[in-house]
Amino acid sequence: MEKGGSIKRMKKPWPTKDAMEQVYSMKLWGGTHSEFYSGMGSHHPEIVTPYIVALISFLKSFENPITVCDLGCGDFNVGKELVKHTKKYIAVDIVKDLITYNKSIYKEENLEFHCLDIAEDELPDGDCALVRQVLQHLSNDEVQRIVHKLAAYKYIMLTEHVPQGYFIPNKDIISGQGIRLKKQSGLSLLDPPFNFKVKEEKEVVAIKLQGHKGMIVTTLYTVF
């Protein structure tokens, strides 16, 4: 107890938040010349360009623009190309300094940035959730907590780095820098233990990486 008899409150641990902050502060995903860098998956043209083309096509397919929630927006190198095709674009990340930086750089009337832990916090309202190479870094427990919230969106555009060919899905990991690929596994929301229920599933983009480094697959789920 502290002086005066008051109870000293223990600070709530944030292992995932700490891990992601470390990724950026120590530049574990590269980008030594950038203040914040979200790695090859957000910058390599071979990966980024097909995704942006597919997403713009999807967003333009609506007669009336929709509200998009980018859950794990990173350094916003990809998101910045999509904003003008939406009614509102809500960009979310767990790293506070990254969100502050993004706010100072990217300014559009229909763009908002929020610092949230998508496993712990309430998610913004919207029509479509973009979850691009985010869940692959999280433990099954954290993914499960997020999956329950994703059911509130009509559309989910999920991008995951998975092995090529057959693999056993959803091997558990500790949340952080690494992904399931190291265990010859990848995330699949429709398989146990998540068993996410959707109305329709459609593969949008699949990019094979050289050197047996797996594939980056984007899937559109229509939930209701």
Cα–Cα distances (Å) from 128 to 73, 89, 124, in that order, read 14, 10, 11
Does 204 fall in a domain? yes
* 168: containing domain: 15-222
Q: pLDDT digits over 28-67, tens only?
A: 656 666 677 776 777 889 999 999 999 999 999 999 999 9
Cβ 98 vs Cβ 75: under 8 Å: yes
Alpha-carbon distance 16 to 119, whole Å? 10
Structure-model confidence comparison of residues 86 and 10, the more confident one: 86
Q: Which helix (H) or strand (E) holds 90?
A: strand 88-93
Alpha-carbon distance 164 to 34, whole Å? 31
Q: pLDDT digits over 88-111, tens only?
A: 999 999 999 999 999 999 999 999
Does 138 fall in a domain? yes
Domain count, the chain: 1
Q: pTM higher than 0.75, yes or no?
A: yes
Does 4 fall in a domain? no
In this prediction, what percent of the chain has a pLDDT beyond 90? 77
